[in-house]
């Protein structure tokens, strides 16, 4: 499952890079500051954010955090199952 997720994020990363590389040469700085330039700059900033988020996931910066969250989930599931088993025993009596 993890390799599939990384592959998916890699594809999205390449798509965002391709869109950015396609759009950058079409940005016009000759007319001075204006709405068109502002839109282009904001669009590029969002594209860079998308690229950075996918790189962050692919590199696996938060693997330790993910492991801790998974252990907390398992612990909560065990607690929930224990309560459920206890309630079913009480109901049987």
Q: Are residues 73 and 34 in the same domain?
A: no
Its pTM stands at 0.59
Please name the residue ranges forming H helices in the chain: 2-23, 35-59, 63-92
One pLDDT digit (tens) per residue for the chain, 93 residues: 467 778 888 999 999 999 999 988 887 777 777 787 888 889 889 999 999 999 988 887 677 777 888 889 999 988 888 877 777 777 766
Q: Are residues 56 and 72 in the same domain?
A: no
Query: What pLDDT is stored for residue 49 in this prediction?
Result: 95
Taking the mean position of all CA atoms in its chain, how far away is CA 63? 13
Q: Are residues 41 and 75 in the same domain?
A: no
Q: Are residues 42 and 66 in the same domain?
A: no
CB 12 within 8 A of CB 54: yes
Query: What pLDDT is stored for residue 50 in this prediction?
Result: 94
Half-sphere exposure of 34 (CA within 13 A, CB side): 7
């Amino acid at each position: 499952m993890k390799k599939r997720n990384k592959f998916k994020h890699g594809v999205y990363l390449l798509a965002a890079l391709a869109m950015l590389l396609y759009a950058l040469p079409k940005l016009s700085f000759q007319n001075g500051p204006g709405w068109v330039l502002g839109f282009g700059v904001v669009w590029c900033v969002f594209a860079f954010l998308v690229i950075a988020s996918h790189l962050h996931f692919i590199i696996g910066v938060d693997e330790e955090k993910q492991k801790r969250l998974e252990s907390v989930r398992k612990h909560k599931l065990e607690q929930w199952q224990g309560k459920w088993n206890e309630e079913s025993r009480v109901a049987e009596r």
